[in-house]
């Protein structure tokens, strides 16, 4: 199984569920605080690959939910600049195995990447954090 560096927002229920799934699947986690990391635009860009910019953003962030910020209308350079300044905008979790990186927790994508014990996923969709507070 893989050793995964897992950047989370401490206290996020969605990230807690995602960690449970990874651990139940036999992976080792090195958990880090997404908000305390000194991100650069170049580092963040490596997690998103060729995915559309809209998928880079945390959909539960109050600015995204309110429509103040429209990810689909944001260019990559501006998105990265905003995320460096305000890490709560970044989709969670960010994960790294070796040199490979991934943002977000789409079950099938994570399963294809590192393998999951799919019976550990259960009914709740671990993709998005269920939190709705202003601290997302």
The pLDDT tens digits for 25-40 are 999 999 999 999 999 9
Model confidence at 134, pLDDT cuts 50, 70, 90, reads very low
Mean pLDDT of 52-79: 97
Question: pTM for the complete prediction?
Answer: 0.89
Phi, psi of 85 (to 5 degrees): -75, -30
* The domain over range 3-120 is classified in CATH as 3.90.320.10: no
Task: Note the pLDDT of residue 77.
Answer: 97
Whether residue 129 lies in the annotated active site: no
Q: Where exactly are the structural domains of the chain?
A: 3-120
Q: List Cβ neighbours of 53 (8 Å cut-off, separation of 6 or more).
A: 71, 72, 74, 75, 76, 79
Query: For a pLDDT cut of 90, what percent of the chain falls above it?
Result: 85
Q: Is 8 exposed, middle or buried (0-12, 13-18, 19+ CB in 10 A)?
A: buried
pLDDT > 70: percent of the chain = 90
Residue 96's pLDDT is what? 98
């Amino acid at each position: 199984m893989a050793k995964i560096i897992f950047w989370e927002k401490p206290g996020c229920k969605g990230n807690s569920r995602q960690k449970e799934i990874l651990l139940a699947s036999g992976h080792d986690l090195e958990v880090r605080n997404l908000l305390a990391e000194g991100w650069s635009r170049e580092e963040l860009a490596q997690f998103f690959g060729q995915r559309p910019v809209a998928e880079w953003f945390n959909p539960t962030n109050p600015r995204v939910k309110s429509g103040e910020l429209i990810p689909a209308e944001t260019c990559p350079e501006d998105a990265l600049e905003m995320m460096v300044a305000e890490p709560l905008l970044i989709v969670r979790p960010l994960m790294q195995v070796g040199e490979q990186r991934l943002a977000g927790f789409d079950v099938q994508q994570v399963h294809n990447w590192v393998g999951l014990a799919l019976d550990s996923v259960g009914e709740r969709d671990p993709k998005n954090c269920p939190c709705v507070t202003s601290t997302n």
